[in-house]
A and B are shown apart, each in its own frame.
Chain A
Amino acid sequence: MKPNFKQESFRGDYSYKNSPVAVKRFPFPFSEDNYMYSVNIEPHTKGKPGSVYEFAFDIDEHYVSECMDKIITLEEDPGRYTALPHMMGAQWDFLELAMTSLANDYPDYFSLKRSGSKWSWENKPLGIVDVFTFGDKSTLPMEPFEYIGRQLQGDYVLLDQRDETLYADAGIVTSQADWSLAFNAGMSWKEWHGPVPKVTELGVLDRALKYLLNLQLGSPVRRLNWTMTINPRLDTSPENYPHWGGDRTKVNAENVADLVNLRVELQTLFRLPRSNAIVFGIRCYLMSLKDIATFPRWAKRLHRVQKTLPTDLIEYKGMTIYHPFVIDWLSQFDDGEELGFGTQPE
């Protein structure tokens, strides 16, 4: 089923809306009544038709408007794209992965023709047509990573593998949940996870790193991460925190269901062939509490997870001020029914 690409905003008047199709396919992340960090990595294999897991890179009804929002963010702050010089090989690897996947999975929207190193690319929804030489950055209007990163929903970070760890050496990051690429560029795995509470004690980081160091070509993996955002805002960067941070104080009992969005990140990791680097994709899905409550099972599950969330996690995710309103509003749906394991809406 082809989505109609919406024209909507993720800032200012926040005209963003989810259609019923989008609500149903939302990657609700909670399979149990309480939440703790785990190495919840699974193979990123072809999922159910229509689901967010069906293809390597998910394109949905928000594709065009999200790409437009990305352009605004990059224009205002070019530092939201950065690539250290030694990552050029990885840049081309990622361009190849993204283009071949998109052309294969969404042939109505994208086409790729290759004749040796002469490549022809068409992106119909964005109206882009380019012919270029693979490996020669002078034949593209900008660096290959930024070029293709602007045509995908979500953020992407290229990780160089060396010294038994991973380094965040390139990124295009415009829809992050509160971390700065300009600050984190060049950091190692342990360093960029520095601020996350609890996770080191649990050993989760070390196990995840060991697993990723052995990530193989052709066997990508995925996991879900989550937080909450006020308004369906993509750019919740520390850079622009003065613009969006104040919104947290505007939540009250009347508007909580419309204002508070559950923000789920579908994180994917692919090994890249020529550079041996890893691309880390962070694909963001926003859903208001109101839309989530369309499915009572989700509302009940979410209520229980939020009620039992440890304080340092609430604080780290920036939810402290408005969290009581969230719990209060969700409680009306929770009749104590036994829900069982699983993230399904019904």
Chain B
Amino acid sequence: MDRGYWIRSKPAYTSLTWHEKASAHLVLASGMGGMAVLKLFQQMQPAQPVTVLYEKYGQNAADYSEILQKVVPENLYIYQDDDLLLENLKEELSVSRMGLRIYVAGSEGFIWDVAKTAALFGVENYDIMKEQTDTLARTVYCVHCKAMNKNVTTNITKCTSCERMLFVREHFSRNLGAYMGLMVDVETPGEFAAIEEIYP
């Protein structure tokens, strides 16, 4: 890739800050995302009601649950794994009202799992504030066999389903929550660039 060349489908994440205009706030966090939640509450305690769903451990076994219990004033729910968190998120969203602002902090995989859940309730992903933490690992969609490969930390990876060696492009699908993996050695079978772990 040339310098200055930027694939514009790759999402850009931010650092969480409270929306000034809101009726209520809902914060979802996983693992080191707990730190992002602490940063939020250090900015201020919002006047509106806040609910926080936190999954401890995430990608790097980080657990901020004890500190969060000291800082989050009300409605803090702690989970052991993200499936449980996502189930409870559905319940929360089903009784929420327009005016709710949604924030998420965690790995990219967690972020888009949350976005997909919120989409079931008509929430657009670009209306969710997102902070990427824990890891730069990517979920890779093998365009040949359509399998999803999670937690890929390298630039080239072997598809767990069809076993082709895939180059992971920066082209990202929000619907799938994944990057495209394309067979890397079609024109030069067995030969490809060095595998580098540049998404730790």
Contact = CB atoms under 8 A, between A and B. Distances in A.
Interface of A: 79, 163, 180, 182-187, 190-195, 197, 200, 238-242, 245-246, 248-249, 312, 321
Contacts of A186: 173-175
Contact of B2 (A182, A190, A312): A312
B70 interface: no
Given A183-B173, A238-B144, A242-B164, 12 more contacts: A79-B146, A183-B141, A186-B173, A194-B7, A194-B9, A197-B5, A238-B180, A241-B182, A241-B183, A242-B186, A245-B186, A249-B187
A183 B176 contact: yes
Nearest to B8: A194
Contacts of B2: 197, 312
Contacts of B19: none
5 contacts: A185-B173, A186-B174, A187-B175, A200-B8, A239-B143
B10 interface: yes
Nearest to B186: A245
A190 B172 CA distance: 12
A194 B10 contact: yes
Interface of B: 2, 5-10, 124, 141, 143-144, 146, 164, 169, 171-176, 180, 182-183, 186-189
A238 B8 CA distance: 19
A202 to B, nearest CB: 13
A190 B10 CA distance: 11
A195 B169 contact: yes
Nearest to B173: A183
B186 A183 contact: no
Query: Of residues A183, A187, A191, which shows the largest number of chain B Cβ atoms within 10 Å of its Cβ?
Result: A183
A283 B6 CA distance: 29
A180 B174 contact: no
Given A191-B8, A193-B8, A197-B2, A185 B187 contact: no
Question: Would you list the 6 A-B pairs with minimal beta carbon distance, nearest first?
Answer: A194-B9, A245-B186, A186-B175, A191-B9, A194-B8, A238-B143
Contacts of A192: 9
Contacts of B189: 246
A239 B143 CA distance: 5
B9 A321 contact: no
Given A242-B186, A246-B187, A312-B2, A182 B7 contact: no
A246 B182 CA distance: 14
B9 A180 contact: no
A196 to B, nearest CB: 9
Given A242-B183, A321-B187, A191 B146 contact: no
Contacts of B188: 249
Nearest to B10: A194
A192 B175 CA distance: 12
A176 B7 CA distance: 20
A257 B176 CA distance: 41
Contacts of A79: 146
A248 B164 CA distance: 19
A197 B7 CA distance: 8
Contacts of B172: 191, 194
Nearest to A318: B187
B187 A312 contact: no
Contacts of A197: 2, 5
A185 B143 CA distance: 13
Contacts of A190: 8-9
A242 B183 CA distance: 7
Q: Which of B124, B169, B180 has the most CB of A within 10 A?
A: B180
A280 B146 CA distance: 25
B7 A195 contact: yes
Given A193-B8, A238-B143, A239-B143, A184 B173 contact: yes
B114 to A, nearest CB: 17
Nearest to B5: A197
A79 B176 CA distance: 14
Contacts of B175: 185-187
B9 A241 contact: no
A163 B182 CA distance: 31
B174 A187 contact: yes
Contacts of B8: 190-191, 193-194, 200
B196 to A, nearest CB: 20
